Structure 1
């Protein structure tokens, strides 16, 4: 799904009041983007895989790098070998060869194991946790962990996942929700921080699915993906 960054301007969030005011100002843009994400799931398997590729490319790099990479690969994602994918990523990504390999291996696994019926696969899970665990813990799905799996599922319209990237973690730390801003390195740590973020979101009246947008936009000045 092609998206353009929505420029909203950075904000200094020093208090809950600052957070709520910023959320109120940018919420129409957040809701518009969330609605766009739901459409990508309805577009079918190729669009769903494109969002997974975005998350593979964004992991350890940046959302902008993920967007640029997907644009370069669109049209050949389902067919090109890793070498061609890497060539197309040259100059656009920090790790063109490794990310191209991740994409090709993940694609081939999903094709051989599930006949690339990604929509059917994702809907087969009865609970949100199991759905995310499948993508985060599966050794055949390369290049993403809990943050990437959460990001992927949010970007295809599934709710209830916290995307704990560096901007979100620093924002939470600045508001006293967590101590420090170090990224979680285990599933248990991820779920603990996610739980704290969920409780905080409920307390201040900002839906969890919108909270990471607010914290990310405050530090970057934009709403992207």
Structure 2
């Protein structure tokens, strides 16, 4: 297990390092430029709210579709387009839940000033994750569970959160590192995160980097 990830690290480490740098710049400066080549012929400028919208769009969909929509709609579109126009633009790219995602983006837009305050509060990543995903929290983003909140925070520079999606779960289950349960409860999510922390420690990489390496192992792409 460790050997295969070390080989992948040697093969695509430069692309993972570039992506981590893009994430860090986004969190630090509020904007970044992504270049997904050679894995996807897309490059784009984006901001933090656009990244939040990307994570809303990608849930139960795909990173490739989310990236294409993020480039197509752009930061100004996410912040200003109506529900109807967002729905049309999202549907044109073939997203199955266009109206639902458009509504979630507009709801997140209305909370954005409060979410910005939360992100600037200096709280730890896992505390912010809970506030973004807890249904009882005033900061809850509709459509965000632990996975989506972790995804968003990783993409703006937090390095201590695991994104336990289907690719990561498949990797862990194939190696009998987590139970084969069909339902991913909060307890199981946090257990998987602990397992990934141990894997990362052995490799000398953060959870943010490890996710990108495992994603490459499963998809042959370094995306986000």
**What is the TM-score of this pair, normalised by structure 2?**
0.84
Give runs of aligned pairs for residues 12-161 of structure 1, distance below 5 A.
15-44=1-30, 47-74=47-74, 75-92=76-93, 93-111=95-113, 114=114, 118=116, 120-138=117-135, 140-161=140-161
Deviation at 1:122, TM superposition (A): 0.6
**What is the TM-score of this pair, normalised by structure 1?**
0.83
C-alpha distance in 2, partners of 1:178/1:141?
28
The residue aligned with 1:165 is: 165
Question: Do the aligned partners of 1:166 and 1:181 also contact (CA within 8 Å) in 2?
Answer: no
C-alpha distance in 1, partners of 2:102/2:23?
24
Deviation at 1:138, TM superposition (A): 4.5
Deviation at 1:130, TM superposition (A): 0.9
Identify the structure with bigger relative contact order (alpha carbons < 8 Å, sequence gap 6+): 1
SS of residue matched to 2:79: coil
RMSD: 2.0
Deviation at 1:173, TM superposition (A): 1.8
SS of residue matched to 1:53: helix
Unaligned runs of 5+ in 2: 32-45
